Amino acid sequence: DGGITQSPKYLFRKEGQNVTLSCEQNLNHDAMYWYRQDPGQGLRLIYYSQIVNDFQKGDIAEGYSVSREKKESFPLTVTSAQKNPTAFYLCASSSGRVQETQYFGPGTRLLVL
């Protein structure tokens, strides 16, 4: 089945720890995105990537880092510099143009211990 997967479903982070959220897609999409969603709020863009080895900061990139070494993978690292990381993280992909339909993964919920 084609789709976009995220793992893990739940992730716990200790103070000062870096954690990495996985996002994989087999839709052959060029563009991938990371969003953060806080309770009762909309989605805010963290990073996006139009093509392999290229990515751009979104509205709230501070405290996060990404890489795009392969077309199908776009991992997000939540660094210790992100002081309030508790949120629902969503990964999406699209064929390339920003107004093309974005397909979202099931999300990862990050909690701080």
Partner 1 sequence: LAKTTQPISMDSYEGQEVNITCSHNNIATNDYITWYQQFPSQGPRFIIQGYKTKVTNEVASLFIPADRKSSTLSLPRVSLSDTAVYYCLVGDPLWTGANNLFFGTGTRLTVIP
In the complex, the residues that contact partner 1 under the rule CB under 8 A are 33, 35, 40-45, 48, 50, 56-59, 88, 90-92, 96-107, 109
What minimum distance in Å lies between the beta carbon of 29 and partner 1?
A: 13
If the CB atoms of residues 4 and 78 are measured against partner 1, the closer one turns out to be 4
DSSP string, the chain: ---EEEE-SEEEE-TT--EEEEEEE-S--SEEEEEEE-TT--EEEEEEEEETTEEEE-TT-TTEEE--SBTTB--EEE-TT-S---EEEEEEEESSSTTSPPEE---EEEEE-
What minimum distance in Å lies between the beta carbon of 82 and partner 1?
A: 18
If the CB atoms of residues 52 and 80 are measured against partner 1, the closer one turns out to be 52
What minimum distance in Å lies between the beta carbon of 40 and partner 1?
A: 8
